[in-house]
Amino acid sequence: MTQKYFCQIDLNGEYDRSHEMTLQDLAVVQDLVRTHSAIVLETEKVYLVKSRLEPLAKSEGFVSLTELIQKLRQSPYGVLHKKVVEAMTTNETSFFRDLVPFEVLRKQLLPEIMARKATSKRLNMWCGASSSGQEPYSVMFTILEHLPELQNWVIQFIATDISEEMLAKCRAGTYSQLEVKRGLPASLLTRYFVKKGMGWQIREDIRRRIDFKRMNLAGPWITFPSMDLVFLRNVMIYFDMETKKQILGNIRKILNPNGYVLLGGSETTLNLDDKYERVDFSGTACYRVKKA
């Protein structure tokens, strides 16, 4: 097969061959990432592959990305492969991302669940792509700020992600000044964080309330209790149709019959799983399973 090169053209219009990547090398990364995370990397994403993996190659002591890929080819799945998969995940997130879903949570979803489960006083929630933790912590802040009666409930809040690096960040709950500036009201910073070096750390008593675990959404699932609320926001966009269908089917199995699933703003169950119906709460991507 003829090798094709993706080259970077520098500002003078000349090829910079040190950044080239062959289709074959790209295919190694595409296969690895798809097999171990279900993330689909289109060929046009070569720039992303290079920008994420070149720094990794350097920090792992390889002279080039080509050499790193050579190593991936030659050795069985191991730590380096895992690092490559993790490096190819997109971890973009922020506190109270998109805002409206958290308003809906506060005004509609949680009050309804609280009325329905007033006797058992048990609330189970799962955040399925927690990234660096801003999403699950925003859920906790919503409860602490607006629904203090939930503090007397038994809350089981599980947050998962495929990336160990992100999970370590979730557990530490430490954020830079820039991160806390993105979406977090100043009043919450004062109440729920303590100063830590140049940044901020979420109070230990709040961090303790979330159980952070590793889980590949496209791999074997951990055991979940029956869920009242599932947050699966801005992650299915990276997967193919089959994987999305499989994940939505798995969620139905763990969802309380009256439970809700919140997806990202550009995500839907439409044409993927017709057992869900959309619940129109202020235009959010909020779904529940249709009654039989």
Ligand X SMILES: C[S@@+](CC[C@H](N)C(=O)[O-])C[C@H]1O[C@@H](n2cnc3c(N)ncnc32)[C@H](O)[C@@H]1O
Q: How many CA atoms lie within 13 A of 200 on its CB side?
A: 18
Strands 255-263 and 227-232: parallel
- Min dist CB 119 to ligand X, Å, is 32
Closer CB to ligand X, 238 or 281, in the complex: 238
Query: Should residue 244 be labelled a site residue for ligand X when binding is judged by CB under 6 A?
Result: no
By residue count, the chain amounts to: 292
Query: Should residue 93 be labelled a site residue for ligand X when binding is judged by CB under 6 A?
Result: yes
Which residues, at least 6 apart from 128, have a Cβ–Cβ distance to it below 8 Å?
160, 215, 217, 230, 231, 232, 235
Which range, of 13-21, 140-148, 192-200, 227-235, touches ligand X by CB under 6 A?
A: 227-235
155 DSSP β-pair partners: 123
State which of residues 216, 246, 250, 268 lies at the interface with ligand X (CB under 6 A): 216
Query: Should residue 251 be labelled a site residue for ligand X when binding is judged by CB under 6 A?
Result: no
Nearest to 132 by CA among 102, 97, 161: 161
Query: Should residue 35 be labelled a site residue for ligand X when binding is judged by CB under 6 A?
Result: no
Query: Should residue 38 be labelled a site residue for ligand X when binding is judged by CB under 6 A?
Result: yes
Cα–Cα distance, 119 to 243 (Å, whole number): 37
State which of residues 69, 129, 248, 251 lies at the interface with ligand X (CB under 6 A): 129
Torsion, Cα of 80, 83, 85, 87 (10° steps): -140
- Min dist CB 36 to ligand X, Å, is 8
Which residues, at least 6 apart from 107, have a Cβ–Cβ distance to it below 8 Å?
none
Query: Should residue 162 be labelled a site residue for ligand X when binding is judged by CB under 6 A?
Result: yes
Query: Should residue 207 be labelled a site residue for ligand X when binding is judged by CB under 6 A?
Result: no
Query: Should residue 264 be labelled a site residue for ligand X when binding is judged by CB under 6 A?
Result: yes
- Min dist CB 131 to ligand X, Å, is 3
Rounded to the nearest 10 degrees, what angle do helices 79-87 and 65-74 cross at?
130
Instruction: Kindly state the number of chain residues that form the binding site for ligand X, as judged by CB under 6 A.
Output: 24
Closer CB to ligand X, 37 or 174, in the complex: 37
Residues lying near ligand X in the complex (CB under 6 A) are found at 37-39, 89-93, 97, 129, 131, 135, 161-163, 166, 216-218, 233-235, 238, 264
